[in-house]
Structure 1
Amino acid sequence: MQRLEQLKSWLTSLYPQTDIVVEFAAADADFRRYFRAQFPDGSTRIVMDAPPEKMDTDPYVKVREIFSVVNVPQIIARDREQGFMLLEDLGRITLLAALQHDQRPLVQRHLLLEAVDTLVVLQQASQPGVLPEYDEALLRRELSLFPEWYCARELGKPLNFAQRQLWDAGCEKLLAAILPQSKVYVHRDFIVRNLMLTPGKPGVLDFQDAVYGPISYDLVSLLRDAFIEWEEDFVLDIAIRYWEKARAAGLPVPESVDDFYRDFEWMGVQRHLKVAGIFARLYHRDGKEKYRAEIPRFIKYLKRTTRRYQELSPFYQLLLQLVGKDDTDAELQSSYPVLSVKG
């Protein structure tokens, strides 16, 4: 409550003698909160509340400038010391809400392809040395969240020696395939909850953790989501359309769509392991329960991909030991052949 009063006082200092109505708008998985400020003329602004002892808003400001080639909110005012920022309001409708509201395949495809177009534009602006590298050390730190928080804390099953060997073998195979991917700007959370339905082109939010890394990462974020799921053939269709658009735009995707989809799936394994660990940590460390129920969806994603590729079988065997077989495994047995990476 004290932070909210500080926020209102800051707004008053910016707009003295103005009757501004402030209402809660959204909260992130971290410590940031967002409020919508409505002005007497009916216009609105978004106020970011990022407690300075817990959050640094400098990355947001830096990345917003880099990502200005797409529709990101304008920064109207900022108080770095207090951790407040006044932003352009990109509206109330997330892409997730729009997709959940109208589930007709043609509508879903249209909305996702608009997001794909935005992603291609963002990736075209990529330059090395501008954003932090999504390097092996960072990829490994993210992977470590899975055994630490999902296995040990969520399941109560710390990995034993044999399971740790499976884990290490899977990680080595995975990283050996991910690290050679071409690099571009990576939003790092390019999900439908962070895209806004706005006139013209989607608005892009929550970009402050952007890095320079594997080209398939953001597409995986978009199509293997925590809160909405599509059939495999639909995901494949959108992925192929992205690949076609990326090639036409001169982006460094593989020449073969089969190779690209393999990269997409393997990148997904890294992200799914990370997100399962993050969601478990949010519950067990931070007391945030809303993400916990979505962990099984990522386990399903993981089983699907790690069974498909022989090189990733250590992960699949580990998952069977940790969570056992379920309906997903019967589906996989009949629908997904075991594949091997070429080359």
Structure 2
Amino acid sequence: MFMRNLNLRLLKNNIIEKIETGGSTREFYRCKYRNKIAILVIDPDIKKYLRVHKHLLNGHINVPRLYWTDKAKAALLEDLGTISLYVIFRKQPELFYHRKAIDMLVSMQKKCSSKFPIAERYDRPHIKWEQKYFKKHFLFQYGQVEQTAIDKTKDEFAELTDQVLRSIQDHDGFFMHRDFQSQNIFVKNNKIRIIDFQSARIGPLTYDLSSLLRDPYADLTISQERQLLDHYFKKIKPQKIPLSYDQLIAMYRLTCIQRNMQALGAYANLALNKGKKHFLKYIPRGRQLLMQGLKECNFERLLEIVQRSRGAEVKRRF
């Protein structure tokens, strides 16, 4: 139901609380209007959010209902509550809702990959941006690795970029949420609901899968990860994507490296530059997952430089 005769000033007068979110620079408030609790979002780039929101709705994807927007910088959205996949898995580390999240991912990739309204793609410039972000904030700023040592890994980062692009070249035309992790997946009325999709673009088949299964917020075991990979492969089979299981795993491992680099760069930046110190607690697990991926793909020099970064030592699982 779209609410008319609303304005931002009126909504601000009915705010209940400010919601402290993860890494977002947007502002979120829980407010009450006409006996309805809803989420007020303040975002200078709200038009992009609205375009992706409409696209997902057209694909019958479960996203928050839109009650009102000024089409400039604000929107009033359905309140999905506080039960995220992150909360559920911490209480009971079973895979029921992870499987449902994978089903939703497959549905998004099937229904929302064509006629996507945003021009950005996951391409060489974006891969290099993720690596630069990781080197600047995690290796140099958080890890205190010397810049000269980082510069000496230039060829290894270039090789990683080339390997990622080669692995995804026939499978890079899919809807990509870009932050498909447990804190952006909610459960309401036993249904998976998706938030924080404003950075979506067209990209590789496995990037969102990497975000979900090697998520520093949710400590999946290696056995659980394998079960979910098997579930994903089974779900995409009816689409007749020309991809073997071994090809899926090879592409998945490379996008895991990229995803964990991006996540570690974000955690370090948010903690050290944005005052969000609680992100520091996710760095050891993210670092462990990155080292696992680098070892799997034989990037020995990159593994060495990550091991040199300071911070809490992690217990390796490989």
TM-score scaled by structure 2? 0.87
Greater relative contact order (Cα < 8 A, sep 6+):
2
Task: For 1:166-185, list aligned pairs within 5 A.
Answer: 166-185=156-175
Which structure 2 residues correspond to residues 1-343 of structure 1 after superposition, within 5 A?
9-11=9-11, 20=14, 22-39=16-33, 41=35, 43-50=36-43, 55-68=44-57, 69-81=60-72, 83-103=73-93, 108-125=94-111, 126-127=113-114, 130-131=117-118, 132-160=120-148, 161-248=151-238, 250=239, 252=241, 254=243, 256-310=244-298, 312-322=299-309, 328-329=315-316, 331-332=317-318
Instruction: Summarize deviations over 1:157-188 as a string: whole Å, max 9, x none.
Output: 23424333444444433443344434210011
**1:282 partner amino acid:** L
Aligned residues: 306
The aligned amino acid for 1:285 is N
Mapped partners of 2:211, 2:251: distance in 1: 13
Which residue identity does 1:223 align to in structure 2? L
Identity of aligned residues (%): 22
Shift of residue 156, structure 1, vs aligned partner: 2.0
Question: Considering only aligned residues, what root-mean-square deviation do their CA atoms show, in Å?
Answer: 2.5
State the SS of the aligned residue for 1:23: strand
Larger radius of gyration: 1
Bigger CA drift: 205-214 or 150-159?
A: 150-159
Alpha carbons of structure 1 residues 320 and 36: separation in structure 2 relative to 1, 3 Å: closer
Per the alignment, do residues 291 and 322 of structure 1 end up closer, same or farther by CA in structure 2, a change over 3 Å counting? closer
Q: What's the offset of the Cα at 1:40?
A: 6.3
Q: Secondary structure in 2 aligned to 1:67?
A: helix
The answer to whether the 8 A contact 1:149-1:280 is kept is yes
Distance in 1, Cα, partners of 2:33 & 2:117: 37
Deviation, structure 1 residue 326: 5.8
In the alignment, structure 1 segments of 5+ residues that lack a partner are: 1-6, 14-19, 333-343
Q: Report the Cα distance in structure 1 between the residues aligned to 2:25 and 2:208, rounded to whole angstroms.
A: 23
* CA distances 1:316-339 after superposition (whole Å, capped 9, x unpaired): 23323445996645x42xxxxxxx
Tell me: CA distance 1:73–1:253, structure 2 relative to 1, closer, same or farther (3 Å).
farther
Unaligned 5+ segments in structure 2 are 1-6
Q: Distance in 2 between matches of 1:23 and 1:317?
A: 45
Structure 1 position 65, deviation (Å): 0.7
Structure 1 residues 189-234: Cα deviation after superposition (integer angstroms, max 9, x where no partner):
1111111111252111000000000010111111111211111111
CA gap of 1:207–1:243, structure 2 versus 1, over 3 A, is: same
CA–CA separation in structure 1 for the residues paired with 2:15 and 2:139: 45
The amino acid that maps onto 1:215 is L
